[in-house]
Amino acid sequence: MQEQIRYAWGVSSLGEFIAAVSGVGLLAFEFGENRTAMLNARESRLPGASVVNDQDGLAGTVERLKCIVDYPKQDAAIALDMRGSDYQKKVWNMLLEIPAGETTSYGALAAKLGTSDARDVTEAIGSNTIAILIPCHRVIKKDGSISGYRWGVRRKRSLLGREQHNHSPWRDLMI
């Protein structure tokens, strides 16, 4: 049976994004300026899957993701479908352990994996397709400077700054 992947578009304070969901959970949350290119990239990563627009069905997910863009420190409570090699998943799970508002370096992650060569870690981080929720923006250079980010250094810098604030958009909803 052909897997069905549903997707929807969103617009946030950091730009347009695509959200794609499988039966397991969110498998993509990616920023970009060209919808056609974003959708083509998504379809090429999912050969054999039926990729269908479900703007109405994913409206709640899109709203949660828009909120997470402005408040990346908050837990969106969205199930994730991390697709990658075992090594990539290991790196991504390490990213999930980095507390909001804190950073680590590529070298520190490599050392946790038992190597001094951070190139494989950097490649795994760069292949992450779930922005913010798998917080690759929390990884910086050893000297503390902000390095590349799949969705642009401007977005990375903004997300790190936003995590320094404590306001919770969910606080008002918890009565």
Please identify which of the residues 27, 121, 136, 160 carries the catalytic annotation.
Answer: 136
C-alpha span between 85 and 128 (Å, rounded): 11
Rg (CA), the chain: 16
Estimate to the nearest angstrom the gap between the alpha carbon of 38 and the chain centroid. Answer: 15
Strand residue runs (E) in 96-150: 104-105, 139-140
Query: Catalytic: 136?
Result: yes
Q: Is 9 exposed, middle or buried (0-12, 13-18, 19+ CB in 10 A)?
A: middle
Residue 159, SS3?
helix
Looking from the CA of 23 toward its CB, the CA atoms found within 13 Å total 6
**Which residues are marked as active site?**
136
